[in-house]
């Protein structure tokens, strides 16, 4: 404790000295003043904890001084010394903040007792102040700690926000407690809006996993699901979901991790598709040899038969004569019985089979031709020529009856591609378009409906070349569009083709050229095939 300073204010110096002696003896430090002015000066300088004030002073009265001292130090404990006659003033002083009053002449024992009580009060106040300071100190420390905690919390939050997974902590029933930014993005809800909500409100895919959640929490065992199919805003997506129980400190809840793996699944599907194609191709290459031999036998036999019944070889005439007839008679018979036409059909069928084999083989040997910059418009024109020729030859479709619209961007740069392959792809698409319109026409009245038209477009996108083959044919139902790239899937009549055209095209565009091939179709409106090829080759 500090020194026990007491201010004595009395205009009688003897009285002051007497009191000071008594107080000093008792361990107090006494300061004496004879006037109000002196008293205030001393109080300012020495800051006494207590004061003994005479009510009557030469330059004022004690009550007034009391008020002034209180202004300097509101805690000062003032004992008013008063004559019997002035008791009322003393009581007034006590009402206005004096600690006590004593009648004059002061009795030392009484004064000391009161002073003792006063300083008890001072001590108590000091102690209280000390504890108050302690509390403040504690509070300050708490604030610092809180800040540290906040920083640590933010750091952990940063970590979980940096993860690309959706992370949610939930209680045993699936109510959301904490979440990361990815979860906000996924729910399209910010901040507090999702706290306390049930997890299945935002992630319907989890509604079937709630039992597992409880089990995970109760048994303390994590659960995982891979490739959970979900509908997100009408789109089919795939999620990996993990439930990891939080069991420390008796806590009953779990962390749910959700990863969108749609991209990966799609890549895998593409790979599977490509592999399927490869296996079809591999199988085809193996079969080709086996089929080419008998095909050779068929075609060459037909050629020999036709030659050996034609007037061109002199030996034919000779042999006919040996048999007692003439080549003319033999030919007459063959023609009348239509045999020459049958032979021609054998030749045609054999050629067609050979063409199919040839296509299948092409498909199994990608990258035969080299990538080089080519003018797509030229390739497209060549494909158009081939298509026209193709249909004239077969007399199945009248390609000339189809209006061809060419919309080629004149600014189109050359595009790295394999010329013959792209020609094949475009020929395929043109052929499909022509056939689709032909079959559409045979269904509806041939005179009604729009005139068959194919629009061929070549234009540039930022980093891709875009080729479109659009027809105004009958279009396709979505379930057919879905299967259109499958090998051996065909909507055409059996015998028209092996159903490989589009899957070969798909393979050429996506695998060999790293481009994309998409089909958009609407029943009754037509079909549009869109090829996109990279304008720049990526480094291997």
Partner 1 sequence: MKDSPLRILVVDDEDTIRLNLEAFLEDENCLVRSADNVADALKELASHPFDAGIIDIRLPDRDGNTLILEAHRMHPEMKFIIHTGSAGYTLPEPLAAIGITSKQVFVKPVGDMNLLIEAIRGFGGRG
422-441: which residues touch partner 1 (CB under 8 A)? none
Encoded one letter per residue, x for contact with partner 1 by CB under 8 A and - for no contact, window 434-473 reads ----------------------------------------
Distance of alpha carbon 96 from alpha carbon 249, whole angstroms: 59
CB of 472 to partner 1, least distance (A): 38
**Contacting residue, 73, 165, 212, 354, with partner 1 by CB under 8 A:** 354
Of 261 and 285, nearer to partner 1 (C-beta) is 285
CB of 289 to partner 1, least distance (A): 4
CB of 345 to partner 1, least distance (A): 14
Of 247 and 292, nearer to partner 1 (C-beta) is 292
Query: Angle CA(23)–CA(25)–CA(27) in degrees, nearest 5?
Result: 75
Pick from 48, 21, 17: nearest CA to 32: 17
Distance of alpha carbon 391 from alpha carbon 380, whole angstroms: 17
The DSSP secondary structure of 280-314, one letter per residue, reads HHHHHHHHHHHHHHHHHHHHHHHHHHHHHTSTT-H
242-301: which residues touch partner 1 (CB under 8 A)? 285, 288-290, 292-301
**Contacting residue, 56, 157, 347, 374, with partner 1 by CB under 8 A:** 347
Cα radius of gyration rounded to whole Å, the chain: 53
Report the Cα–Cα distance between both ends of the chain, in Å, rounded: 85
Of 393 and 448, nearer to partner 1 (C-beta) is 393
Of 46 and 308, nearer to partner 1 (C-beta) is 308
**Contacting residue, 96, 107, 195, 358, with partner 1 by CB under 8 A:** 358
| Residues in binding contact with partner 1, number by CB under 8 A | 28
Of 200 and 292, nearer to partner 1 (C-beta) is 292
Structure token pair of residue 393: 């030859």
Interaction of residue 361 with partner 1, rule CB under 8 A? yes
Pick from 122, 132, 116, 19: nearest CA to 73: 122
**Contacting residue, 303, 328, 329, 444, with partner 1 by CB under 8 A:** 303
Provide the strand spans (E) within 133-204.
166-171, 176-179
Of 46 and 331, nearer to partner 1 (C-beta) is 331
How many angstroms separate the Cα of 394 from the Cα of each of 380, 389, 422?
Answer: 21, 9, 23
Burial of 323 (0-12, 13-18, 19+ CB in 10 A): exposed
Of 308 and 374, nearer to partner 1 (C-beta) is 308
Piece of 73-81, 186-194, 229-237, 349-357 that binds partner 1 (CB under 8 A): 349-357
Give me the torsion for CA of 11, 17, 18, 24, rounded to 10°. Answer: 130
Encoded one letter per residue, x for contact with partner 1 by CB under 8 A and - for no contact, window 365-384 reads x-------------------
Widest Cα–Cα separation across the chain = 182
Interaction of residue 311 with partner 1, rule CB under 8 A? no
Distance of alpha carbon 126 from alpha carbon 203, whole angstroms: 61
Piece of 115-123, 317-325, 346-354, 438-446 that binds partner 1 (CB under 8 A): 346-354
| Site for partner 1, rule CB under 8 A | 285, 288-290, 292-301, 303-304, 307-308, 313, 315, 347, 350-351, 354, 357-358, 361, 365
């Amino acid at each position: 404790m500090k020194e026990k300073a007491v201010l004595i204010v009395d205009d009688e110096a003897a009285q002051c000295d007497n009191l000071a002696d008594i107080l000093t003896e008792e361990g107090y430090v006494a300061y004496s003043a004879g006037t109000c002015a002196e008293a205030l000066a001393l109080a300012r300088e020495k800051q006494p904890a207590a004061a003994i004030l005479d009510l009557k002073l030469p330059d004022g009265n004690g009550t007034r001084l009391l008020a002034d001292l209180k202004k300097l130090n509101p805690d000062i404990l003032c004992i008013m010394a008063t004559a019997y006659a002035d008791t009322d003033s003393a009581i007034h002083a006590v009402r206005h903040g004096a600690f006590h009053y004593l009648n004059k002449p002061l009795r030392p024992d009484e004064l000391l007792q009161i002073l003792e009580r006063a300083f008890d009060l001072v001590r108590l106040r000091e102690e209280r102040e000390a504890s108050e300071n302690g509390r403040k100190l504690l509070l300050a420390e708490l604030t610092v700690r809180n800040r540290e905690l906040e920083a640590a919390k933010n750091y952990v939050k940063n970590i979980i926000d940096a993860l690309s997974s959706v992370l949610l902590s939930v209680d045993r029933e699936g109510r959301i407690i904490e979440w990361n930014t990815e979860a906000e993005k996924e729910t399209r809800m910010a901040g507090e809006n999702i706290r306390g909500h049930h997890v299945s409100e935002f992630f319907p895919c989890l509604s079937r996993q709630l039992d597992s959640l409880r089990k995970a929490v109760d048994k303390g065992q994590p659960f995982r699901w891979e490739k959970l199919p979900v509908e997100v805003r009408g789109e089919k997506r795939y999620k990996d979901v993990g439930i990891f129980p939080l069991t420390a400190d008796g806590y009953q809840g779990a962390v749910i991790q959700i990863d969108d793996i749609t991209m990966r699944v799609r890549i895998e599907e593409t790979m599977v598709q490509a592999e399927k194609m490869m296996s079809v191709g591999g199988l085809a290459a193996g079969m080709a040899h086996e089929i080419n031999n008998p095909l050779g036998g068929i075609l060459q036999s037909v050629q020999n038969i036709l030659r050996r019944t034609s007037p061109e070889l002199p030996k034919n005439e000779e042999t006919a004569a040996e048999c007692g007839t003439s080549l003319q008679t033999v030919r007459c018979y063959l023609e009348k019985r239509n045999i020459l036409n049958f032979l021609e059909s054998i030749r045609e069928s054999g050629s067609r089979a050979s063409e199919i084999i040839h296509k299948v083989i092409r498909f199994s040997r990608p990258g035969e031709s080299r990538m080089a910059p080519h003018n797509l418009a030229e390739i497209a024109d060549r494909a158009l020529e081939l298509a026209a020729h193709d249909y004239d030859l077969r007399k199945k479709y009248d390609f000339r009856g189809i209006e061809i619209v060419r919309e080629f961007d004149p600014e189109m740069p050359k595009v790295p591609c394999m010329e013959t392959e792209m020609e094949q792809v475009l020929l395929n698409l043109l052929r499909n378009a022509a056939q689709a319109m032909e079959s559409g026409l045979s269904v509806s009245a041939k005179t009604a409906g729009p005139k068959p038209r194919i629009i061929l477009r070549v234009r540039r996108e930022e980093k891709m070349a875009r080729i479109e083959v659009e027809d105004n044919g009958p279009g396709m139902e979505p379930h057919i569009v879905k299967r259109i790239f499958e090998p051996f899937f065909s909507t055409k009549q059996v015998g028209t083709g092996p159903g490989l055209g589009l899957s070969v095209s798909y393979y050429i565009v996506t695998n060999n050229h790293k481009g994309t091939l998409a089909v958009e179709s609407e029943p009754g409106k037509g079909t549009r095939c869109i090829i996109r090829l990279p304008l720049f080759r990526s480094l291997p």
